[in-house]
Chain A
Amino acid sequence: MSHYGLGTLKKEENMALAHTFDYQRPSTLIEALQLKAKYKDKAHFLAGGTDLIVNIREGMLKPDLLIDIKGISELLKLNWEKETLFIGSNVTFAQLIDNELVQKHFILLHDACKTIGSTGIRARATLTGNICSAVPSLDSAPALLCYEAKVHCASPESQREIPVTEWFLAPRKTALQEDEIVTGISLKRIPDSSGIYLKLGRYSGEDLAQAGWGILMTADKQYRLAHCALSPIPKRAYYIEDLLNNSNPLNADLIEKAIALIPSEINPITDIRATQEFRMYISGIMLKRGLTAIQERISGKYIEPRKLLGDV
């Protein structure tokens, strides 16, 4: 009998994932890497599991081993040193949203974190997990691309840092090697800058992006832009950056010129969330409102990005 007197159900009524696997929870990085080296692509690292468990349940992944990295304390680091924030791979979106350094120095990343999933997802899901899933619509990517983040990877033999611009290779494919683990992501502060992330979903709260644009601006009016859900992989918008950084001032005319460059920056598809034509069109609206709003943000005004797109 169970504690609450409700009885124990028969075994056949007890559901589990259809696929079986081993489960290990190492307490050191080296143990995790040794397990990975032994099982290679048959082992997957488990942090938040908000994508991984769904993928196993739906039969997209059939791992022999799950290596739960949540017991590895060094991956929990969230450090500020030499103007650089290091975000360990166990750090969740909820932690980033509550972190003062992220709020103060990386507002574009802060915007993006707030748009991901829902509170219940953000309490488990990690930034590192997000970039390792590497779906085209990943909301954290425009921010990481604009801040020129570095992805820290370790293998049993070596360590390396991969610029995030070289991280995404194709949908769900990254530069991570079979024997490597991501230990964290680092972002250097860009002094006197502000940012904004505009995400358009079908409704606000818990939807994947139909389109996402991140804009970063410095006090001397230099811009960085990046997008997600508009190409096979998230990307910087270098043509638009060149235009904005070599012209001034930012006026309606220049914004129209930037909008005219959108077709050379993005390559959207039609899917269940939006058509190709809509994504192309709405990118212009997002760019216009984003570029206008960031002028106010850099002067210290509070702007809620969601409100810029109608908050439906």
Chain B
Amino acid sequence: MKEISLILNNEPRNVQVENNEILLDVLRNKLGIKSPKCGCERGDCGACTVLLDGKAVRSCLILAVEAENHNIITLEGISREKLSALQEAFIEFNSFQCGYCAPGIILAVTELLEKNPHPSLEEIKESIAGNLCRCTGYTPIFDAIMSLTGRGAK
């Protein structure tokens, strides 16, 4: 066991971890952060997406010890005071059914919109190509995101 420090949702946190513990499990089981989900455990599904130093990454493929001294943002971190515009759009367009993929998709698109506030539909598709949704067929998800791009819902 070793103690690591990290910045989680803009707050410094310390946590005891083993070398072989995965960041996703430590977030969920030791740090009380339940938005990243365990789906495939091999980087394919995107349900475990978190922002590490601002970039969407797979928390199932990162050791907790690797996150030492890094900055991690989860869904909890982007909706503390009120929901983000993206989250509001997801509600407006009824973009989820089961919601399992939603935290990952919202974080991936949050990164995209920060880098590129007016993405095309193609760019949106590319940014969440690694976030699988098995309920919606993606259409209401694209509609919600497009409504924020200044290009209007498609």
A→B interface (CB under 8 Å): 2-9, 13-17, 19-23, 25, 46, 49-50, 53-54, 57, 66, 68, 70, 94, 117-121, 123-124, 204-206
Contact = CB atoms under 8 A, between A and B. Distances in A.
Interface string B82-125: 00000000000000000000000000100110000000000001
B19 A22 contact: yes
Contacts of A70: 66
B147 interface: no
Interface residues of B, number: 42
Interface in B31-69: 31-34, 41-44, 46, 49, 52, 55-58, 60-63, 65-66
A3 B33 CA distance: 9
Nearest to B53: A123
Contacts of A8: 29-30, 32
Overall SS of chain A's interface: loop
A174 B128 CA distance: 33
A58 B76 CA distance: 31
Contacts of B33: 4
Contact of B63 (A13, A49, A54): A49
Given A6-B32, A57-B41, A205-B130, A120 B20 contact: no
Contact of A120 (B11, B30, B34, B58): B58
A16 B25 contact: yes
Contact of A21 (B19, B30, B76, B125): B19
Contacts of B108: 119-120
Contacts of B29: 8-9, 13-15
Contact of B18 (A3, A5, A20, A46): A20
B34 A6 contact: yes
A70 B46 CA distance: 23
Contacts of B128: 119
A17 B22 contact: yes
Contacts, number: 114
A94 B34 CA distance: 27
A120 B46 contact: yes
Contacts of A119: 56, 108, 111-112, 126-130
B41 A16 contact: no
A231 B56 CA distance: 33
A206 B129 contact: yes
23 contacts: A2-B31, A9-B30, A15-B22, A16-B21, A16-B22, A25-B65, A46-B63, A46-B66, A49-B66, A50-B43, A50-B58, A54-B42, A54-B43, A57-B42, A94-B55, A118-B130, A118-B131, A119-B56, A119-B108, A119-B127, A120-B58, A120-B108, A123-B55
Contacts of A57: 41-42
Contact of A53 (B62, B130, B131): B62
Given A2-B32, A15-B25, A120 B49 contact: yes
Given A3-B13, A8-B30, A21 B56 contact: no
A117 B130 contact: yes
A124 B11 contact: no
Given A57-B41, A120-B46, A206-B129, A20 B61 contact: no
B53 to A, nearest CB: 9
Contacts of B112: 119
Contacts of B129: 118-119, 204-206
B66 A120 contact: no
A205 B126 contact: yes
Contact of A68 (B44, B61, B66, B130): B66
Contact of A124 (B22, B31, B62): B62
Contacts of B32: 2-8
A29 B31 CA distance: 33
Contact of A49 (B25, B34, B62): B62
A49 B19 CA distance: 14
Contacts of B60: 53
The winner among B58, B76, B108 for most chain A CB atoms within 10 A is B58
